[in-house]
Structure 1
Amino acid sequence: MRGLAALPLFVLYGLAEVLYFLMAYVLRYRQRVVLKNLRNSFPEKSAAEHRQLARRFYRHFAQLMVEILWLRQATPAQLKRRVEYPNKHVLIDHVEAGRSVLALGSHAGNWEWILTSGQLQLDVPAVGVYQPLNNGFFDEFMYKLRTRTGAELVTMRETIRYMAATRNRQKVLSMLSDQSPSNPTNRYWTHLLHQDTAFYTGADRLASHFQLPVVYVSIQRVRRGYYRIVLEELFDGQSALDPNQHQITEAFARALERDIQAAPADYLWSHRRWKHKREATERVH
């Protein structure tokens, strides 16, 4: 892994083409999951269009894999050049006012470059919420990648305790909020891409309890290896907020749906996002 990570990025992109061919045509990596997700999310498209989207996703995913590897040797100057924040004032205005901020992202574009590049763009610590991987080697490898520019990590389970302990310390807390929750007592159901979709409710509870402004992080691919991060305020951190109304989660779902429809091949379709089904007692908003 270290040897591959040391290769120049243009060489790694050559490797990505090999990975793309293997995943799309030989291994057919999670092909049933990918095509099912695409069919359900875009019922207006034909079967040929679904297959074309799947191929575009596999190429994106292969490039994403080598970009994550390359992160091990990327310099701060290179990351700043490849990840732009055209309206970072949306977040910095809150920081300059003395507030911590909750930033909500998704598995779109290259989400692994966001925490590392964000740390370089801000004057306060960037803290990522993560779920430890089952494989110890890859968990350690990814932990080192994500923290190599000075960003911090906190596990999902420890987030509330961490925020309480660091209440007086300014920071940007970053979460990927499009994951699929299994616990019926901790999820909110809404429609996403024509499907009943469950979301974690942690963003609403964190914002309400700690009076955090909330910013949506739109990860947009400009071209291969270059990304634009557009920020959108979902909550100002000062208005009244009832966490049981899930105002923030609903706003996040609508922004996410808009971004996926704008660049469908750049989303993580191999993930079983809709594997959990709504129970009879749970209603869809």
Structure 2
Amino acid sequence: MQFLVYIIIYPLLWVISILPFRLLYAISDFLFVVVYYIIGYRKKTVTYNLKLVFPEKSDSEIKDIQKKFYAHLCDMILESIKSLTISEEEMIKRFKLLNVEEIHKLEVLNKNIVLQCGHYGNFEWIFILQKFVNHKGYGVYKRLANKYFDKLIKRKRAKYNTELITTKETIQTLLHSKAKGELSISGFISDQSPKKDKAYYWNEFLGIKVPIHTGAEMLAKKLDSAVVFFAVKKIKRGYYETTFQTIAVNPLEYKNYELTDRYLKLVEEQIYEAPEYYLWTHKRFKHKDEVPAEFQ
């Protein structure tokens, strides 16, 4: 059944991916009407999240952010499909890396890197970074249920020399990489909600106390890897600029969770500047009323 689904859907995805961007965004405009007005995909969750984070904004302001968010979400879906066949030259033109020398400085220091970002802008196109650095790239991801689409995603990332690894494979893979003397750069997105029973740290994010993912910080300390944040700014439709900011060169010099807090503050700065480009469909604040006594 998995293969049948794959051979039915993949040709359609491939055909969409070879369309010029002008037609791609025409499809995105149509998808927006379907997702926002007809299906109303997770609209209640998005409205709830926005009102919780921006209580000072009027209903009309919330609705304006919401509509812009759904338009961006549809663009991201089509841009992700476009990644199947987009040329290297086109990707470099549309996803500019403004200060990649920040990564080169850490290479000179012989430092492995934990690279963090938020679910903001088009974070998926960061894989083009591998064309500009010498670190071996690893992306931590959740394996897809359909093994054929899972292989497709891995193949798509591999063309930029990035290897996808699951959470369970992360420590072993990166320890082995370090033992080989390989410089690695591993990507993490840690701003969404962990399972409550796996939450060891709670703090405020966007003004609400919630459980926080700390795996990236713990891994950085275990491997003595530098921690770098990359911010994605949407310049116009289909065009992004990315800047890198080193959070820590030597993570063991910082108290537990300090690096996590610094990372989340940088994510917050992006969201407050232009909230429509954040992924609001996730139930980020579902545990906000379950704060353990030691974190209240």
TM-score, normalization by structure 1: 0.93
Cα separation, 2, equivalents of 1:142 and 1:272: 25
| 1:275 equivalenced with 2:286 (yes/no) | yes
CA contact (8 A) 1:80 1:120 kept: no
Distance 1:46 1:175, change over 3 A: same
Shift of 1:50: 0.7
The equivalent of 1:260 in structure 2 is 271
Please point out which of 27, 31, 34 is paired with 2:39: 27
Q: Which residue of the partner structure matches residue 151 of structure 1?
A: 162
Q: What amino acid is the match of 1:3?
A: V
Deviation at 1:248, TM superposition (A): 0.8
Q: In the alignment, which of 203, 219, 227 is matched to residue 206 of structure 1?
A: 219
The alignment status of 1:232 with 2:245, answered yes or no, reads yes
Per residue, is there more helix in 1 or in 2? 2
1:125 aligns with 2:136: yes
The one-letter amino acid of 2:219's match is: L
- Indicate the residue corresponding to 2:9 in structure 1: none
**1:140-190 CA deviation, whole Å, 9 max, x = no partner?**
333332223221111111111111111121011111111211043444211
Matched with 1:12 is 24
Determine helix, strand or coil for the equivalent of 1:13.
Answer: helix
Superposition pairs for residues 45-194 of structure 1, below 5 Å?
Answer: 45-115=57-127, 117-167=128-178, 168-194=181-207
Amino acid at match of 2:230: V
Give CA deviations for 1:9-31 in whole Å, capped at 9, x if unaligned: 22111100000111111111111
CA distance in 2, matches of 1:238, 1:2: 42
Distance 1:194 1:214 in 2: 24
Gaps of 5+ in 1: none
* C-alpha distance in 2 between matches for 1:257 and 1:238: 21
Match of 2:258 among 213, 225, 247: 247
Structure 2 spans left out of the alignment, 5+ residues? 1-12
* 1:57-112 CA-partner distances (Å, limit 9, x unpaired): 01001111111111111111111111111111222100122111111011100111
Amino acid at match of 2:261: E
- Following superposition, the deviation at residue 282 of structure 1 comes to 4.6
Q: Which amino acid aligns with 1:228?
A: E
Residue in 2 aligned with 1:217? 230
**In structure 2, what residue type is equivalent to 1:205?**
M
Q: Which residue of 1 aligns with 2:7?
A: none
When the two chains are superposed, the root-mean-square deviation of aligned CA atoms in Å is 1.6
Residue identity matched to 1:194: G
Displacement after TM superposition at 1:279 (Å): 4.2
SS of match in other structure, 1:166: helix
**Which amino acid in structure 1 is aligned with residue 169 of structure 2?**
E
The one-letter amino acid paired with 1:200 is H
Shift of 1:123: 1.9
Contact 1:208 1:241 in 2 (8 A): no
Q: Percent identity of the aligned residues?
A: 27
- Would the aligned equivalents of 2:17 and 2:83 in 1 still touch at CA under 8 Å? yes
Q: 1:195 deviation in Å?
A: 1.1
Task: Identify which range, 184-193 or 82-91, moves more after superposition.
Answer: 184-193
CA distance in structure 2 between the aligned counterparts of 1:40 and 1:142, rounded to whole angstroms: 34
Q: Kindly indicate whether residue 208 of structure 2 is the aligned counterpart of residue 195 of structure 1.
A: yes
The alpha carbon displacement at 1:134 in A equals 2.9
SS where residue 229 of structure 1 aligns? strand
Give the Cα separation in 1 of the matches to 2:148 and 2:48: 31
Deviates more, 1:18-27 or 1:231-240: 231-240
Q: Name the counterpart of 2:10.
A: none
Tell me how far apart the structure 2 counterparts of residues 205 and 239 of structure 1 sit (CA, whole Å).
Answer: 10
For 1:10 and 1:123, the matched residues in 2 are separated by: 34
